[in-house]
Amino acid sequence: KAGVTQTPRYLIKTRGQQVTLSCSPISGHRSVSWYQQTPGQGLQFLFEYFSETQRNKGNFPGRFSGRQFSNSRSEMNVSTLELGDSALYLCASSISTQEAFFGQGTRLTVV
Amino acid sequence: KQEVTQIPAALSVPEGENLVLNCSFTDSAIYNLQWFRQDPGKGLTSLLLIQSSQREQTSGRLNASLDKSSGRSTLYIAASQPGDSATYLCAVLRPGTSYGKLTFGQGTILTVHP
């Protein structure tokens, strides 16, 4: 059974640019959540999608957005990148209140 | 607001020792608690999931317990090995409108030296 797949693994972007990250959940998992991990703040919840609908959103500016497709794959977009957006972005998939499985993450560096 | 705290922040032990990592949470109304392992620069690997109705879960050398009433969980690692060196994170899932919003602790950095 394939795990959660995130692409790309690494990205380097310039301030002001935008970026799109992709997450393919485990087959059958309809809930996809995104997290940002930084050394100072730890793991922070960005948002969750279920059946193409955003169910919850963390405390992040509107520059952070996402969507989910009918096959449960999800993308997150960050516009007008800032240096502080440099982080490891993690995606997780789950079924209801069961175990959450994470991908390997996308390391975003903003220069 | 749910807050999760992990103690200690870092731990260094010789190989072969048994050790305990602690996790505490402020709101006992949880669906479940999950322990993860993270290697440097990598994603999270799920170790154990304890549902709110359970008291403990075991997998190999790992045993996790949950005491909802006191807001505590412990992860016990038996006969530690250098390969156990990693950051260990606990996370809780609260009831609400979302099943995907985990609240994480800051983690315990474990180093097991030969």
pLDDT band at B95 (very low <50, low <70, confident <90, very high): confident
Under 8 Å between Cβ of B34 and B48: yes
Q: CA quadruple A56, B36, B67, B10: dihedral positive or negative? A: negative
Distance CA B105, CA B91 (A): 6
Residue contact B96–A32, C-beta within 8 A: no
- Taking contacts as CB-CB distances below 8 angstroms, the residues of chain A near B44 are 90, 92, 102
Closest CB to B46: pick one of A6, A48, A99.
Answer: A99
pLDDT at A86: 98
Q: Mean pLDDT, to the nearest integer, of B39-46?
A: 94
Nearest Cα to A34, choosing from A82, A84, A68? A68
**Local mean pLDDT, 10-residue blocks, chain A (111 residues):** 92 98 96 94 94 93 97 97 98 88 97 97
Residue contact B43–A107, C-beta within 8 A: no
Number of other CB atoms surrounding residue A31 within 10 Å: 25
Residue of A nearest to B106 (CA): A42
Nearest Cα to A36, choosing from A111, A95, A79, A92? A92
